[in-house]
Structure 1
Amino acid sequence: MNTRRIFLLLGMMTFFVFLPLTTHAHTNDSEGFSFIEVNEETIHYELKLDLEEFAEAMSREMNESQLFDTDTVQEFLNARIEVYADGVIVEGVIEQAEIETIQERPVAVMNLTYEMKRKPEKIILDYHMFFDETAPSHANFVTIDMDGVKKQIILTYSSRQLEVGEMSFIQNAKQFLSLGVKHIFTGYDHILFILALLFGAKTIRNILSLVTAFTLAHSITLALATFDLVQLPSRIVESAIALSIIYVALIHLLNLDAKHHPWLAFGFGLIHGFGFAGILSEMQLEGSQMAMSLLSFNLGIELGQLFIVSLAFPLILWIKKSTKKPVKWIIPGISVCILVFGLVWFFQRAF
């Protein structure tokens, strides 16, 4: 056998050995496509994923009817694709879902809308689709259009985040200030604890010492948790907050003339601070702006807290000074309600 025939034979053998690899190379590629458009108060996100791979990741059959089970698909996507508008996470709602055929392969096409109150200055996309489940080699080709400027990036296992824009110092402070105010007004357990504290306050000086102690304590643990220096399981924190409500309400019910001391407010304030920090853990806080974000958020909490105290305490003093018997039962009655809420929350959170 001459040299030419040997090389010909080796070439044919190489061809047949690598033929299966080459014919399956493309079909084994894991690819996705994202087209994102940022508008005044909405973000439109068109996501394209291989249908078979999408079905495998969801551990279910995936046809057109299954794809239109938007609640399940939407929950799946929001758990793996996180969009932050100026640091605040926004959840997508599937407006349309369909199946297309691209290069003879079925592709799931989903159009999501993210609602916002105003146009964001900065968008962050955290993408975790398939990486940790079915396809570490997955890649998503992203095109984002913001303020008329388009940016392309490829998201991979080692590079899962896209950032566009830059949030200003003032916008960051305003946003977290507003978030702090909103958080205290929607944190009903914190409000009831503050009310229970006010029931045991005798003078303006006393209430100032209680509020100061509570503020100082929750500011300490809020900072420790936000900077990830101290972390406690959320179940323990939320259960302890419920217990603080129960304890303070019981003190007042057992002795209507009991006076709350600052150390009590400080001790329970440490626990409530971890509760305040829970919402910040869901946000994209950057190192350069973390201190200002934390300060603004805490200031918002204090403003909301001050507003509650300024409305409630004069009314509580009037009730205590009233000589009418029906009025005298208002505070004990409210204390019983606070105690009941605390008990319900404790059993819900602890068990």
Structure 2
Amino acid sequence: MGINKEMDVVTMKKILFSVLLILLALNSLYPFSVYAHTNNSEGFSTINVKGKTLNYGLKLDLEELGHALNKTTDEKELINHKVLQDYINSHIKIYADSELVEGTILKTNIATIKERPFAVINLAYKIGHKPEKLVVEYNMFMDDSDPSHANYTTIKMDEKQQEKILTFESRELEIGEVSFLQNVKQFVAVGLKHIFTGYDHILFVISLLFGAKTIRHILSLVTSFTIAHSITLALATFNIVHLYSRFVESAIALSIVYVALINIFNQDSKQQPWLAFGFGLIHGFGFAGLLSEMRLDTNQMATSLVSFNIGIEIGQLLIVSLAFPLILWIRKFTIKPIRWVIPGTSAVIFAFGLVWFIQRAF
């Protein structure tokens, strides 16, 4: 029995010695500091809003940051602002009056806090207007490397201050409240901006105008399109109906292609209100895509939706008011070069729609 015990002890020592040699060899190839979790890592946030600018002082455990970025993080690595900035913007969402804003890194440094190295990161956020409400959604490390991470956050805005410890179970902090008038003003402006920067929507409306014959006809088309996209915009915003964005964007491109083809091969065709209504349902889901990227206040969601839709309608009316008189004027000419303006423009619109469809569908 004694001999067996001595052999077991010798065998155990050999095993432990072999494991130690393996660990040392692995450490020489892959330093433990890259892959080790700090566990219970900490962070500190100081957010200060002054007028139209938000300054964010962020301090993060350097070792945990390196693990999240899957690299050894030192002062040289922090100089690579692009990678670090993209990571922060994807894990910290800041909404100023419901609109998502992104930060730009101004400078980085390394400091020692509680005898541990911390990355000190200063970011600036340009908001464009003085916000009345600020919401912070914090997700650093929690889903990537350290679920026990905690961030001690302080927000100062309009002589108000709020503090909170952000954890895995509680990741959100908000301060302030948007007034009814500010909410209406903001979402009307967002709707206007969206329609004037949504070139696919503009080209679709112009294509409908090419097939309109009278003022009454264009009113019926615009009304049908408006009612349809208002329905699906509301359904999507309230999460009653959801469609994949890739499908929606591809279908919007196809709607442009379809109407453009009609204008090319049948110039005397009269666009039907049911066609505008059908495609309007698809475009409504496209409009809702923007709202899904914003953090709508549940208490003012209906107001935000109506205001956003009003902004879209104002934009559409401006487009119709500018484009339709020009189209009617062109149709009065019998000279061949002039008569080819509408089918030629439709061919260009068709090309854009086809390219967009290929890009979005494949």
The two structures have a TM-score, normalised by structure 2, of 0.89
- Work out the CA distance in 2 between the residues paired with 1:152 and 1:171: 25
8 Å contact from structure 2 (residues 39, 146) kept in 1: no
- Work out the CA distance in 2 between the residues paired with 1:286 and 1:233: 23
What per-residue deviation string (whole Å, max 9, x for no partner) do you get for residues 139-162 of structure 1? 100011111222211111111100
State the secondary structure of the residue aligned to 1:61.
coil
What is the aligned length? 325
Matched, 1:255 2:251: no
- Work out the CA distance in 2 between the residues paired with 1:142 and 1:150: 10
In structure 2, the partner of 1:197 is 208
In structure 2, the partner of 1:107 is 118
Deviation at 1:103, TM superposition (A): 2.7
- Work out the CA distance in 2 between the residues paired with 1:95 and 1:50: 19
Matched, 1:167 2:173: no
In structure 1, the partner of 2:49 is 38
What per-residue deviation string (whole Å, max 9, x for no partner) do you get for residues 4-29 of structure 1? xxxxxxxxxxxxxxxxxxxxxxx643
Matched, 1:293 2:304: yes
8 Å contact from structure 2 (residues 39, 149) kept in 1: no
Name which of 268, 292, 299 aligns with 1:281: 292
- Work out the CA distance in 1 between the residues paired with 2:184 and 2:129: 15
Deviation at 1:323, TM superposition (A): 2.2
State the secondary structure of the residue aligned to 2:147.
coil
Quote the sequence identity (%).
63
8 Å contact from structure 2 (residues 61, 116) kept in 1: yes
What per-residue deviation string (whole Å, max 9, x for no partner) do you get for residues 94-149 of structure 1? 00111112232110010000001111000000001111111111110001111122
- Work out the CA distance in 2 between the residues paired with 1:58 and 1:225: 35
8 Å contact from structure 2 (residues 44, 59) kept in 1: yes
Q: Which amino acid aligns with 1:323?
A: T
State the secondary structure of the residue aligned to 1:288.
helix
Q: 1:28 to 1:261 in 2, by over 3 A?
A: closer
Q: For structure 2, which runs of at least 5 residues remain unmatched after alignment?
A: 1-37
State the secondary structure of the residue aligned to 2:108.
strand
Deviation at 1:210, TM superposition (A): 0.3
State the secondary structure of the residue aligned to 2:60.
strand
- Work out the CA distance in 2 between the residues paired with 1:224 and 1:289: 16
Matched, 1:305 2:354: no
The two structures have a TM-score, normalised by structure 1, of 0.91
In structure 1, the partner of 2:137 is 126
In structure 1, the partner of 2:14 is none
8 Å contact from structure 2 (residues 41, 150) kept in 1: yes
In structure 1, the partner of 2:63 is 52
Matched, 1:320 2:331: yes
Matched, 1:330 2:341: yes
In structure 2, the partner of 1:138 is 149
Deviation at 1:325, TM superposition (A): 2.1
In structure 2, the partner of 1:14 is none
Alpha carbon RMSD of aligned pairs, Å?
A: 0.8
In structure 2, the partner of 1:83 is 94
- Work out the CA distance in 2 between the residues paired with 1:298 and 1:195: 19
State the secondary structure of the residue aligned to 1:298.
helix
Q: Which amino acid aligns with 2:154?
A: T
In structure 2, the partner of 1:11 is none
Map 1:127-276; keep pairs closer than 5 Å.
127-276=138-287
Q: For structure 1, which runs of at least 5 residues remain unmatched after alignment?
A: 1-26
- Work out the CA distance in 2 between the residues paired with 1:302 and 1:113: 34
Structure 1 runs (4+) greater than 4 angstroms displaced: none
8 Å contact from structure 2 (residues 39, 148) kept in 1: no
State the secondary structure of the residue aligned to 1:244.
helix
- Work out the CA distance in 2 between the residues paired with 1:98 and 1:334: 55
